[in-house]
Structure 1
């Protein structure tokens, strides 16, 4: 699947791995639409040629409107879901029981938000003309190694990303009849400008460092281009196998 001269959606594209992905896809001559919260877009270093659509992925109405905008011109061919949150809280901590509303919010943003974008974007992609191989598009979701090795304080985050892992294969099977592939990337530790991650990266086998956002972007592009990758979850973690306790959870 080629993205040149087609429309692409990147959620959570105002910063981090989403911003790196939007920038790379724009360099591939795709018409890129970033869906993110307005406050994050207002603070973003914008990429030339990328259109930013203020969107809350927990709002079906906002997602539907933004997908319609993205699909209004060139055919919508790819979606990369990067939007997510990861607060840390123990189930029983010093302040009592884990905030139940916080738990529900993490699942709503990470899992339900991913599904909402996936489903509504798939509806638009399914209306496009297939290529000569019957393909119409590809959706790349983002989970985390926490789906497999959630650390102390990650009950909500691990639950939500585990749901994304579990969603991958049935979504790929559901959408196969429409020529749409679905895959997931499960990153380990990823560096961000606001959050140095050198300490936790000591558990990475090799390379002994956090992943860079552009490495996520290149993997997402590889998945888009690789027509036989479908229903797969790919760990991008330098062979990290996370211990129970992280610096964030102490």
Structure 2
């Protein structure tokens, strides 16, 4: 019983209790990609997205003391447990680099695990996801599963592949599933309907324009998503605070992408 209560209390710092939606900003890219733009002064960026209305950020354990500002608006903390680098012979092979116990000691409100469904190391990654889910249940720690269809010959935006990946996350104990947008309301609705836990849409690589990002967010929400987990398209935006706010308008205030875009272009 205590684990259930613990999850309920912690998850309220990640998901808006009033509407069940969330704006999560992953900032774990320093391991996979290195010190990229937007993550050099990570405390500054965290402050910007917090002021913009983000519910939580995702970081690795070494960044927690660096990124904790001790000032400004509070924000939920999700500790990422998985890692691989772009220099690896197989970047799709995600390994565990932190534990649920470490997350508790660092004050995290949730943990996240990355699984590439269809990769050569899928079996190992699924075993780790199941094990982490068990530990999360014991400790009362919410689990965000980043579930991507990735591997030889796999279209990572195909609705059937994305639906499978999302469902696997739920089946193995995730409280929230992050996955790719499939390109349309109709196709992504099949993903959300087939996943019995909240689905948040990934932002992916940096898009050509903020309008493209906002359109995707609106379509995902129309398809039943419960929010977003967008990294580069927020922290590498011209104004991360305003970009976060524009996305939050769609997720939390039911704004259209055009209304959010008008705000983004405003002089505020």
TM-score, normalisation: structure 2 = 0.37
- TM-score (norm. length: structure 1): 0.39
